[in-house]
Amino acid sequence: MACDKHVFKLDSKSHPPEFQTFDGFYNNVFKVDLGAVDTPLLRKVSPVYEDSVYAPVKGYRKNPFEISDALMTRSPACGNDGKVACGSKTGKSAFLVFFGQQVVEEVLDAQRPGCPPEYFNIDIPKNHKFHLGNNITGTTGKSSMPFLRSRYDYKTGHSPSNPRQQLNEITPWIDGGLIYGTSKAWADVLRTNKNGSLAPHGLLASDEDYPEGLFPVQNKIRLPMANPPPPAFHSNFIKEHHTSPVDRFFVLGNPRGNENAFLLSFGIILFRWHNQIATYLSETRKGWSGERVFQEARKWVIATHQHIVAYNWLAEWLGESLNEYPGYDPTVDPQIEQFFQTAAMRFGHTLVTPGAYMRDYACGKCKPISFYGLKIKNKEKFEQPSKFMSNYSVRTCNIYWRPREPFLMPYKHCAGEKGERTRADIDPLLMGMASQRCEREDNMIVEDLRGNVFGPLEFSRRDLMAVNIQRGRDHGTPDYNTARIAFGLPPISSVKEYIEKTNTATPIEILEAMEKLHMPELDEMESEQACQRDSDNDGIMSEVDCIEARRKKAWTNIDVWTGGILETSDRPGPLFRSIIKDQFTRIRNADRFWFENTNWKTPRFTDKQIERIKTLTIYDILVSVTRMLKEDIQSNPFRVPVEGVESDQEFWEKCVNAEPKLWVKSPCWKVNYDKNGDAIGNNVSSICYHFPQLDSNYTPVENCVEVGHYDYFSGSEVSYILTYIFLGVVVLAIASWVPMMVTLKQRRKGSDLVRVQKNLSRSFTISGRVGTPYAGREWISSKDGTRAIAILLTDKNCIQLYSHKNELLRSIDLSGKEKLDIVVVSDGTHLVLKNPTEYDCVLEFDGQLIRSAFMDTIREKLAGVIEIHEQYTALKPALASAITKHERLSRLENFFRIVFAQAFNIDKPSGSKNLLDPKMIREVINTELTRVEFADALGMNTDSQFVEKMFGLVDRDRNGYISFREFLDMLVVFAKGTAEDKAQLMFEMYDIYRTGMLSSEEFKHMIRSMIEAANADVNNEDVEDLVKSMLDSAGLQRDSMVSLQDFQRILGRYKDTLGYAQLNFRGLNVPETKMGTGRNSLHESARAAVISVYGGQDMEESLSESGLRGQPEEKDTSILPNVEQKNRCRTFFELYRLQIFWTLLFTMVVLAIFAERAYYYSVEREHGGLRHIAGYGVTITRGAASVMMFCYALLLLTMCRNSITNLRETFLHRFIPFDNFVLFHKYIAYVGLIFTVIHVIGHSVNFYHISTQTASDLSCLFTDYFRSTHVLPKFHYWCYQTITGITGILLVIHAALIYIFSTTYARTYVFRMFWITHNTYPVWYILMILHGSGRLVQEPLFHNFLLGPLVLFVLDRLVERLIILK
């Protein structure tokens, strides 16, 4: 046992010492974040970014692929004869190399890319295999290899004085981060069993599926461990559209601990080492809690690991030891230095082997064990290898991210002390790595790294050497010579100097190639005038001197990694040794918890314990936590077995000598160096024994799976196309649903025709109306559609149209007419009743039978009274020739325009060009007003006595209509006549029999009608009193007759007032008069009417000049021959200036909102990375989304009916057109629809771009959308598996429902569906809120727009409810 019981003599009741934090904080009490997680890497030299801030280095640096191919390609064989395998010259084992990887993972993790992703892709030369592709595998060539820049501190990279600083995501301390993690939460998970319970006795939780606690628990809890796709299975992934799940890994402290089987084996060793110590402590320290045991065991694991790394592994790695420990120094910064991260720590790449053997124990004669690798996955059966055992080694390039397979493969071990196991376990791989040499210490890199290291799914293989070079440029690291100067080494300017100062073993041909490759081109030199002038040679530099200048310039272009790796001899060159030694010295000396630090009030370790720790080696730990015995592995696994080592005697006898043919003898030597790195004495030569060197060119091994690519949109094609087809079909289906419902409704009406007819007849009989009603519909116009009516022909030859609620809609009086023109539609069930004095009546019947019955009734009742002319024509021309109500109103508008022009001597009336059309003028002259239209023009009820009397007075020909001339004469009198003229006109209105006398009763009716004309409300008693007082004032009795002179005398005191006779016209915005009566006089009404219809200030002056305020003049009342159009737009703006203002204001706000969001995502959020993926489509969709939120929230304000009604009665109606809120509601809705369509179309483009991006980039950009790391998010994921996507689909469908059923056609025929769909608006707002809550792109914003309008809308509805309840 490595842990003797006498070592632990701590008092079980003693106070626990301070334990080291997991995240590195408070290691240094003076600067608590020194060495903590997520702190910037150290820079010994200022960066040389291209822009001095953050842009990666370019300059004259050469293409990384060209450098890798020219300087680091592995030779088929080594030695003078070219027949020797390229193994380590000093006997370093593969165990040493892969142990070094776990050392790096212990102190450094700067591999995660930044977020948002920044690509610094590497151009691929045309002759490179990545560019050429592979016709056999069907792999297409690529022009560049993806490269993501490192994560950095976002507080840096803003100016040359604050350049970008990359981060170390773990602590630089040797503190067990590989197995414990860098946070307490992570460590707690490592201690948690599958059932959720905490592992007892301070143990790390082990997987119950494997006996004896051999392995950590499997990652079923799905810790966020690194999970790139295993490149060996790339062909499966591109077919299945997913990679391997993260729960296949064992949980370890470092997220990258499962990268390969070699790294994982060391993590398992430390895992078992912890549990072995914890088990011992829990048995011997009964009073300690599980937490105390865990922390104490962790302290011992960290201490032994520190010793092995700093004093055993590093000595073998560098060929020299660290200086003696001087004690803890809090002034030292332990952080990883940039040169170490980007170059020196990568020295091990030259030592990595193409794979590793697995071998049996000594009881099995240490024979290699077959690992079938990919052949097992392909389910092929192979016998034991007979000739080339290396065929079935663990191939490095194919074991990436499938680390458990060598350990869990079935294998029956030979009998041993600890019994048999049915799985291979980690022992065979560890023994195999210790039995083979690593690659030779040189500039050559195996193909497993140089072209076959793992990569993302879209580029499954990468050149790690090109990545090393590009990483240095990404971090802004200076050139090779600058690094040498920084570490006290002289700069180099030639190949000769390079050889002399580095003692490199790299062939001179490679060094010359390096110099030549980095020489700048001649035009580059000329740009700096380096090869143009020389004062010593007539100002012209010779060609030889120019070449020499280029050579010197080359040494300032060499990257640190390139120059440093070529320095290699039998160990790292001077630069890398200096960097590595400096780094580990600082880590050791700055660590307050270093095991040798005794400067504690209560020592963490006693001197005896420290001495005991110093005696422990990796060999001691291996034999403690595995089945290996002394006979199974050499005492120093960092070196292959060496002949003559006394401590390995048993191993030599039972392992090497048992099957000597398995082992290869090679000379190896070890050089002793002093503390300054200088060689002491001669090389110590010895004989090393090892398995044959693995080499695809020298010894057969499993081939690396070729590079593969992946189109992330593949697998989304069907869902993308079907989704938009589905949405299109749904919209079309809803649109076609409307006419289908109309058709079904009409069919249902046809079947119910008889029942409806009977019900109508019964209802009309009950109401006392005489005649037979006919069911049908009245066609109003092509825009307004039709309405359901009941048609009744009365005995008085009047056609009346009733609603089904028994309300009179229209009455057409045929009495007094000589003829009636009827247009019978030949291809339908329509009738057009021509009505020249009004507008035509277009009737649609539910069948030919009903239309025929109606025609028969007309012929029967009008026979001999009215001449009926029937004309047959098609439906389309019949409707086109019908005069609609709108056209009638338009004609009346022209009627009033010309009447006013004639009445007020307006030579150039504003309006339509039609005013100049002789045909239109004839139509106007022939136009006659009905009583209803006359009353409507006066703004009075049709049944008013004033209307009745006035109509009878004006209608001089007694034909029941007011002609153009009759109306004009009346208007002239009221507009320009004197008070006597107006009094005479009113007197004649009531002097029915033209006797010149009015009875007192007629006088009273006249007074009442005048009161009605003023819209006053008085009772009969008030009227009686008024009449009596007026008669008394004129000296007349109650029953006296009133003559015109009496009437004028009675109204004498009101002569001035009479000049402002109270006559107004509907629809004219007439200002109040100075009389303050509340109504405007006819004089002012006419004047205001002319101004509102014909123009502004100029027109007012024209009216003054024309005598509107003076006496009436004789004038030519014929139609003005010189009528011209004024500015129609000016008139329009005058009438609708408020509507135009608010419409423009709303539109400008909408455009401003759109522009602000578009600018924000195009410029201010450029660093967010989303626009780089989706293009400017994201700016359009975000701008459209904000406009949508604004519009749909504002719609609620236009729905506050009660508030609008109340505000209409306030002074605000002068500034806000409350009467047009329905139109404004529609305008807002249409704007919202337009931007909704833009938003949907934009997202169709955006989601296409998003679906083409890498899964890792999307995880960065959409952090709120969690998904497993093996899931490749397709279009259907974004559309149907996210709250934003599914609510977006529902919103599109809902919008189609609301808008389609809001069309005029739908409102006319299926109003109920319009009402139902419109009342689903709460669902719309709920979906909008949910749509934004997904935080796909931004934080939810809809509530900012919605909250105010929603509160007002709710209050408005509450008021409405209270009014209803009252």
562 has a pLDDT exceeding 70: yes
Closest alpha carbon to 179 in 95, 315, 278: 278
List the alpha helices (DSSP H) in 78-144. 94-107, 129-132
Tokens of 98: 């892969």
SS3 at position 1362? helix
Tokens of 476: 């802004």
Q: Which of 38-47, 761-770, 778-787 has the least mean pLDDT?
A: 761-770
At 219-268, the pLDDT tens digits run: 999 999 999 999 999 999 999 999 999 999 999 999 999 999 999 999 99
1058 has a pLDDT exceeding 50: no
Q: What is the DSSP letter of 1161?
A: I
At 1295-1319, the pLDDT tens digits run: 999 999 999 888 888 888 999 999 9
Average pLDDT over residues 671-690: 67
Q: Which of 350-359, 903-912, 934-943 has the least mean pLDDT?
A: 903-912
- Which residue type, as a one-letter code, is found at position 554? A
Sign of CA dihedral 263, 264, 265, 271: positive
CA dist., res. 1331 & res. 350, Å (int): 53
Q: What pLDDT is stored for residue 354 in this prediction?
A: 92
SS3 at position 167? strand
Average pLDDT over residues 409-431: 77
Tokens of 1275: 């279009």
With a CB cutoff of 8 Å and minimum separation 6, the contacts of 1225 are: 1195, 1198, 1199
DSSP annotation string for 256-299: TTTSSHHHHHHHHHHHHHHHHHHHHHHHH-TTS-HHHHHHHHHH
Please give the mean pLDDT across all residues of the chain.
82
Higher pLDDT pick, 672 / 413: 413
Q: Which of 136-150, 305-319, 1109-1123 has the least mean pLDDT?
A: 1109-1123
CA dist., res. 774 & res. 1270, Å (int): 73
Predicted confidence band at 1358 (pLDDT cuts at 50, 70, 90)? very high
Q: What pLDDT is stored for residue 694 in this prediction?
A: 86
Closest alpha carbon to 935 in 950, 952, 947, 927: 947
Higher pLDDT pick, 138 / 287: 287
880 has a pLDDT exceeding 70: yes
Query: Tokens 């390609």, residue?
Result: 73
At 373-415, the pLDDT tens digits run: 765 444 444 344 334 445 678 999 999 999 999 998 888 877 5
- Contact, 480 vs 511, CB < 8 A? no
Query: Tokens 């007539």, residue?
Result: 538
With a CB cutoff of 8 Å and minimum separation 6, the contacts of 388 are: 699, 700
CA dist., res. 17 & res. 1065, Å (int): 100
- Contact, 855 vs 843, CB < 8 A? no
Q: What is the DSSP letter of 1336?
A: S
Higher pLDDT pick, 803 / 336: 336
- Contact, 467 vs 381, CB < 8 A? no
Predicted confidence band at 447 (pLDDT cuts at 50, 70, 90)? very high
Q: What pLDDT is stored for residue 1289 in this prediction?
A: 95
pTM score: 0.74
Predicted confidence band at 1264 (pLDDT cuts at 50, 70, 90)? confident
Average pLDDT over residues 818-841: 86
Q: What pLDDT is stored for residue 1043 in this prediction?
A: 78
Tokens of 1220: 């047009």
Tokens of 869: 């002319």
Closest alpha carbon to 839 in 749, 737, 927, 954: 927
Q: What pLDDT is stored for residue 786 in this prediction?
A: 84
Q: What pLDDT is stored for residue 1010 in this prediction?
A: 62
Predicted confidence band at 6 (pLDDT cuts at 50, 70, 90)? very low
- Contact, 522 vs 586, CB < 8 A? no
Sign of CA dihedral 635, 636, 642, 644: negative
At 482-540, the pLDDT tens digits run: 999 999 999 999 999 999 999 999 999 999 999 999 998 766 655 555 565 444 555 55
Strands 841-845 vs 774-781: parallel, antiparallel or unpaired: antiparallel
Tokens of 558: 């060499």
Tokens of 914: 């039609």
1059 has a pLDDT exceeding 60: no
Backbone angles phi, psi at 486, to 5 degrees: -60, -30
Q: What pLDDT is stored for residue 748 in this prediction?
A: 73
Cis, bond preceding 1217 (omega within 30 deg of 0): no
- Contact, 646 vs 640, CB < 8 A? no
CA dist., res. 1134 & res. 1090, Å (int): 13
CA dist., res. 77 & res. 71, Å (int): 16
Report CA 598 to chain centroid distance, whole Å. 56
Backbone angles phi, psi at 753, to 5 degrees: -60, -45
At 97-111, the pLDDT tens digits run: 999 999 999 999 998
Other beta carbons less than 10 A from residue 771's beta carbon? 18
CA-derived radius of gyration, the chain = 50
DSSP annotation string for 831-899: EEE--TTS--EEEEESSHHHHHHHHHHHHHHHTTTSEEEEEEE-HHHHHHHS--HHHHHHHHHHHHHHH
1017 has a pLDDT exceeding 80: no
Q: State the chain's maximal CA–CA distance in angstroms.
A: 158
Backbone angles phi, psi at 1328, to 5 degrees: -65, -45
**What dihedral angle (degrees, nearest 10) is formed by the CA atoms of 607, 610, 612, 615?**
-130
- Contact, 779 vs 878, CB < 8 A? no
Other beta carbons less than 10 A from residue 848's beta carbon? 10
Q: What pLDDT is stored for residue 1093 in this prediction?
A: 34
CA dist., res. 507 & res. 1086, Å (int): 111
CA dist., res. 94 & res. 430, Å (int): 9
1016 has a pLDDT exceeding 60: no
1151 has a pLDDT exceeding 90: yes
With a CB cutoff of 8 Å and minimum separation 6, the contacts of 787 are: 777, 778, 780, 803, 809, 1308
- Which residue type, as a one-letter code, is found at position 2? A
Closest alpha carbon to 565 in 292, 349, 877, 279: 349
Q: What pLDDT is stored for residue 1097 in this prediction?
A: 41
Q: What pLDDT is stored for residue 588 in this prediction?
A: 97
1020 has a pLDDT exceeding 50: yes
- In percent, the amount of the chain with pLDDT more than 70 equals 78
Closest alpha carbon to 830 in 812, 813, 848, 814: 848
Q: What pLDDT is stored for residue 777 in this prediction?
A: 87
Q: What pLDDT is stored for residue 1056 in this prediction?
A: 46
SS3 at position 1314? helix
CA dist., res. 505 & res. 420, Å (int): 47
At 1083-1107, the pLDDT tens digits run: 343 334 333 333 344 434 433 443 3
Backbone angles phi, psi at 378, to 5 degrees: -85, 5
Alpha-carbon separation of residue 1261 from 117, 441, 541, 1174 (angstroms): 8, 43, 55, 12
At 841-875, the pLDDT tens digits run: 999 887 888 888 888 888 888 887 888 888 999 88
CA dist., res. 82 & res. 80, Å (int): 5
CA dist., res. 16 & res. 202, Å (int): 15
Half-sphere exposure at residue 1348, Cβ-oriented, CA atoms within 13 angstroms: 7
Predicted confidence band at 979 (pLDDT cuts at 50, 70, 90)? low
CA-based end-to-end distance of the chain: 94
Tokens of 271: 């895992």
Backbone angles phi, psi at 592, to 5 degrees: -65, -25
Strands 39-40 vs 167-168: parallel, antiparallel or unpaired: antiparallel
With a CB cutoff of 8 Å and minimum separation 6, the contacts of 1358 are: none
793 has a pLDDT exceeding 50: yes
With a CB cutoff of 8 Å and minimum separation 6, the contacts of 570 are: 89, 90, 319, 441, 505, 669, 671
With a CB cutoff of 8 Å and minimum separation 6, the contacts of 1125 are: 910, 911, 912, 913, 915, 916
- Contact, 1255 vs 1271, CB < 8 A? yes
- Contact, 432 vs 396, CB < 8 A? no
- Which residue type, as a one-letter code, is found at position 346? R
